[in-house]
């Protein structure tokens, strides 16, 4: 038990020494474009980042965009699936003072999960490239609010479009 405690304390101290930030995020998503999502979806995410030069954070993350249900099409019924993007990001701090505003860009690969679409003569949806651009603020050294516009390529998309366009509003908490 002592060894586990020592290793855990050493790991936490090491992460703090490297100045790594671990953000846990959650929020809501809404579709944009001609094929809109029928209901509000939800977003949950985890990001790990490192500060460089005091004004740029680089890192990686994973998110879960759920409850993406589209209007019924002629070939499919109950069109709905969830999208999980895995991405790298760069966050540029615009004004690094008490309330830090920033611009963020993300690029990665998305995966389609929980596909509950009733398909008729069409192959299942498959994920592709993920890209996003957004703005946000950090405040109280451990809280974050962000508005993000993302485009996710979905191959064989049953909603009739090749790209899923989402706008998300997320709140985050920094553990380190």
8 or 23, higher pLDDT: 23
Domain assignment of residue 12, yes or no: no
Q: What is the pLDDT of residues 24-57, one digit of tens each?
A: 999 998 877 666 666 788 899 999 998 888 789 9
Domain assignment of residue 88, yes or no: yes
Domain assignment of residue 2, yes or no: no
Domain assignment of residue 69, yes or no: yes
The predicted structure's pLDDT at residue 146: 95
Nearest to 125 by CA among 170, 61, 73, 169: 73
Residue 70, beta-bridge partner list:
37
The predicted structure's pLDDT at residue 71: 63
Domain assignment of residue 111, yes or no: yes
CB hemisphere CA count around 36 (13 angstroms): 7
Domain assignment of residue 1, yes or no: no
Q: What is the pLDDT of residues 52-93, one digit of tens each?
A: 887 899 999 999 988 776 666 555 555 677 889 999 999 998
Structure tokens at 1: 């038990």
129 or 36, higher pLDDT: 129
CA distance 171 to 16: 22
Residue 5 clears pLDDT 80, i.e. is over it: no
Q: What is the pLDDT of residues 134-166, one digit of tens each?
A: 999 988 878 999 999 999 887 776 656 668 888
CA distance 152 to 127: 8
Nearest to 39 by CA among 66, 75, 62, 76: 66
- Start-to-end C-alpha separation, the chain: 24
Domain count, the chain: 1
Q: Which CATH number covers residue 28? A: 2.40.160.20
Domain assignment of residue 95, yes or no: yes
Confirm if 30 and 167 have CB atoms less than 8 A apart.
yes
Range of the domain at 151: 21-174
């Amino acid at each position: 038990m002592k060894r586990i405690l020592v290793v855990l304390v050493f790991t936490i101290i090491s992460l703090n020494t490297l100045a790594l930030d671990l953000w846990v995020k959650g929020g809501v998503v809404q579709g944009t474009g001609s094929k809109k999502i029928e209901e509000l979806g939800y977003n949950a995410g985890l990001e790990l980042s490192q500060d460089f030069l005091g004004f740029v954070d680089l890192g990686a993350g994973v998110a879960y965009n759920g409850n993406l249900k589209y209007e019924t099409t002629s070939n499919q019924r109950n069109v709905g699936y969830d999208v999980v993007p895995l991405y790298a990001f760069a966050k540029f701090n615009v004004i690094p003072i008490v309330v830090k505003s920033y611009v963020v860009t993300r690029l990665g690969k998305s995966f389609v999960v929980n596909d509950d679409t009733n398909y008729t003569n069409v192959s299942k949806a498959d994920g592709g490239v993920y890209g996003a651009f957004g703005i946000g603020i950090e405040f109280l050294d451990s809280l974050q609010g962000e508005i993000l516009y993302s485009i996710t390529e979905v191959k064989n998309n049953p909603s009739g479009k090749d790209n899923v366009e989402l706008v998300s509003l997320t709140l985050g908490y920094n553990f380190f």
